[in-house]
Amino acid sequence: MKKKQVNAGVIAAVLFVFIGVSSVGMNILDKVVMKMTGADMESSYMYGFPMEDFVGIVKVDGDMMDSADTSYFAAGGGYDHQATVDYIEALSEAENNVAILLYVNSGGGYTYIGDDLYLELMEYKEETGRPIYAYFDSIAASAAYYAAMSADEIYANRMTTTGSIGVYMTVYDMTELYDKLGIKEYMIKSGDNKGIGGGGQEVTEEYIAIEQAQVDEMYELFIEIIAKGRNMDPADIYPIADGRTFTANQALELDLIDGIARYEDYKEQVLGYMGDNVVYHEQSSDMDPFTAMFGSILNAIPKSDNQAMLEFIESHQNGGMYYESSCY
């Protein structure tokens, strides 16, 4: 009996060593192959790009903030800007990538994120000479519409809400709330307008004028980007660029999009542009279903009034600037 146990232990140890050596060997081989074949092979390996010519599907799904919530029990995942930028750069390096299909289902977000995604997509086009096609799902507004101005063609679902061309920022004056809660804030600052919009600082008319000038500048840039992307006269954009949203039919009449179709039909249409034997590749999400489900359960747990108030104050310390629609 003891001899059998010893033999079993020896076999297990040998297998463990063999598997370990094999894993190390494969890792070394992978690195050698990547080094010999360059960045193109490395990107293909990392993202699982197909061997055939392919169209990369870049997804803008959810609010366009700094990044998705990547905590282990976060629900949903949402739009992850850095992951999206990395994927676009990998597509640029992949020699058998022939185009991008930009799938948009977002009401917008930070001006910085919308502009950075637009610039990344434009860089892809300029460096590769490959086209970008865009599809609008249920909503493609504000910063999401801004980013889509990189596309050579835009189609939308007939139930799409789009537009919301404009910029806003919100600053909260919480001085009365702080007084009611008995909170006193002492801010040591270098100038009158430093720190306004945070905590218990009073929002002054001077500060509002300063921020309005910045909003106006971002608005003019939005108009410029649309004029370039849609080949339109800025004079024709200003009357419809007051923040209003449009249906797909209205957007088509205003030349804000090029056509209306179901997503699967438009995907087939794009493949038709590319020729035979072209496939799609879509960046996969790292979140497993169990994690997403558990995160949803955690988020559903009611919060106390104090906790909700503290979270509100913390998330509204100062005004970020947005290209965003409130219509969903």
List Cβ neighbours of 179 (8 Å cut-off, separation of 6 or more). Answer: none
Q: Would you state the structure tokens that stand for residue 113, as one six-digit string?
A: 């994120």
Rounded distance, CA 105 to CA 181, Å? Answer: 40
Rounded distance, CA 194 to CA 187, Å? Answer: 9
From the list 142, 150, 164, 325, the catalytic residue is 142
From the list 35, 189, 194, 228, the catalytic residue is 194
Contact 319, 169 (CB under 8 A): yes
Q: Would you state the structure tokens that stand for residue 140, as one six-digit string?
A: 């493609």
Contact 63, 79 (CB under 8 A): yes
Strand partners for 260: 156
Q: Which one, of 66, 118, 124, lies nearest residue 98 by Cα?
A: 124
Distance of alpha carbon 238 from its chain centroid, rounded?
A: 27
- The single-letter DSSP state of residue 215 is H
Starting at the edge strand found earlier in the chain, the sheet holding 108-110 runs: 108-110, 321-324, 168-169
Strand partners for 259: 155
Active site residue 125: no
Active site residue 194: yes
- Three-state SS across 99-116? EEEEEEEECEEEHHHHHH
- Please give the positions annotated as active site: 142, 194
